[in-house]
Amino acid sequence: MTVTLIENFRAVFYAPFYAAFALGAYKAENVDVRLEASGGAAQTLTGLLSGAGQVSWGGPMRVMHVLDEQPQSGLVSFCEVVGRDPFYLLGREPRPGFRLRDLANRTLAVVSEVPTPWYCLQHDLRLAGVDPATVKRAPAASMAENFGRLRAGEVDVIQVFEPLAHDAVAQGFGHVWYSAASRGPASYTTFNTTRGFLEREADTALRMTRAMYRTQKWIAAHDGRALAETIAGYFPGLPLTTLAACLERYKASGIWNSNPLQSSAGVEWLRDAMLACGAIKTCFAFADLSDMSCAEQVMREDPDSI
């Protein structure tokens, strides 16, 4: 069958998804996968449930949101690709000994385009003994607008991903205070579908998972420059040197999985973060959200890199 894979939104940290296409990983597994852009991150799973596609990629956070409100939807994650948080906190001056407590008495501009970064940072703060309500937040704005605010000295700290983090550092007005990936597993991006699709098209899901595993092996064996050259066509407005630097930083921080198996610790951390801020009411078990049967099978097979 032809599988329509819904792209959550275009982002550098989604590099492995683009690499799977660019490297011909799906073709090598004899599965016809077509990429379809979502209308927006909040609409990705809506499109999946309405039949606009059979599989999407995006955050397990969205799966939890939908299952919390629509348990009958049958949504499930089956292959993890981004297992750590790709966001950074950038301040206006160097702070090599940064601690989350240092956010007190500073104006913080958080991500407004998607909720997961702020859910996660709030949980970081709570675990560090800081009440998130005591942190002074700037009025909501886009990451690009917050980039400009930091440069203008209107805020003290911003929460952004690549390439904005790279550009702020390169231009000399931003300094990385905190890489959220350093907290450890926090399940960030998976292949998502319905349990009905996994039952009807078990072989298709298996082939997609195998293709991603082979791509993950390729990424593990290559540097950021090689990955940038491979996926540059997906980022036509981004200089190759910048893309390479961003990918190298992400690779060094360990945000990408080396295999498709989803971390139960990462899922539970994200669930607890969402429960703590009231984003969901259900304390999901790992099995409520994830089916790792395809991932486990391809790991036993141990296929060659693409």
What pLDDT was estimated at residue 92?
95
Task: Give the integer Cα–Cα distance in Å for 178 and 157.
Answer: 10
At 68, is the pLDDT very low, low, confident or very high (cuts 50, 70, 90)?
very high
The predicted model gives 289-299 an average pLDDT of 98
pLDDT tens sequence across 8-50: 999 999 999 999 999 999 999 999 999 999 999 999 999 999 9
Kind and range of the H or E element at 193? strand 189-194
What pLDDT was estimated at residue 105?
86
At 69, is the pLDDT very low, low, confident or very high (cuts 50, 70, 90)?
very high
- Is pTM beyond 0.85 here? yes
Q: Is 78 exposed, middle or buried (0-12, 13-18, 19+ CB in 10 A)?
A: buried
Alpha carbon distance, N-terminus to C-terminus of the chain: 22
Tell me what percent of the residues of the chain surpass a pLDDT of 70.
100
At 70, is the pLDDT very low, low, confident or very high (cuts 50, 70, 90)?
very high
Q: Which residues contact 71 (CB under 8 A, 6 or more apart)?
A: none
What pLDDT was estimated at residue 133?
93
Q: Which of 175, 147, 173, 153 is nearest to 107 (CA)?
A: 153
What is the dihedral angle through the alpha carbons of 111, 113, 114, 120, rounded to the nearest 10 degrees? 0
DSSP 224-258: HHHHHHHHGGG-TTS-HHHHHHHHHHHHHHT-B-S
What pLDDT was estimated at residue 1?
81
The predicted model gives 245-274 an average pLDDT of 98
- The overall average pLDDT reported for the chain is 97
- Which pairs from 245-251 meet CB under 8 Å and 24+ separation? 245/166, 246/12, 246/162, 246/163, 246/165, 246/166, 247/12, 247/15, 248/223, 248/224, 249/162, 249/165, 249/166, 249/224, 250/12, 250/13, 250/15, 250/86, 250/162, 250/224, 251/219, 251/223, 251/224, 251/227
Q: How is residue 59 annotated by DSSP?
A: -
**pLDDT score of 122 more than 90:** yes
Enumerate domains of the chain plus CATH numbers: 2-84+185-301 (3.40.190.10), 88-183 (3.40.190.10)
pLDDT tens sequence across 155-193: 999 999 999 999 999 999 999 999 999 999 999 999 999
What pLDDT was estimated at residue 13?
98
Q: 219 near 257, Cβ under 8 Å?
A: no
* SS3 (DSSP) at 176: strand
pLDDT tens sequence across 88-120: 999 999 999 999 999 988 999 999 999 999 999
The predicted model gives 139-167 an average pLDDT of 98
At 150, is the pLDDT very low, low, confident or very high (cuts 50, 70, 90)?
very high
Q: Which residues contact 287 (CB under 8 A, 6 or more apart)?
A: none
A 10 A CB-CB count for 182 gives 11
Task: Give the integer Cα–Cα distance in Å for 98 and 95.
Answer: 5
**pLDDT score of 286 more than 90:** yes
Cα angle, residue 99 at apex, residues 95 and 102 outer, rounded to 5°: 80
What pLDDT was estimated at residue 171?
98
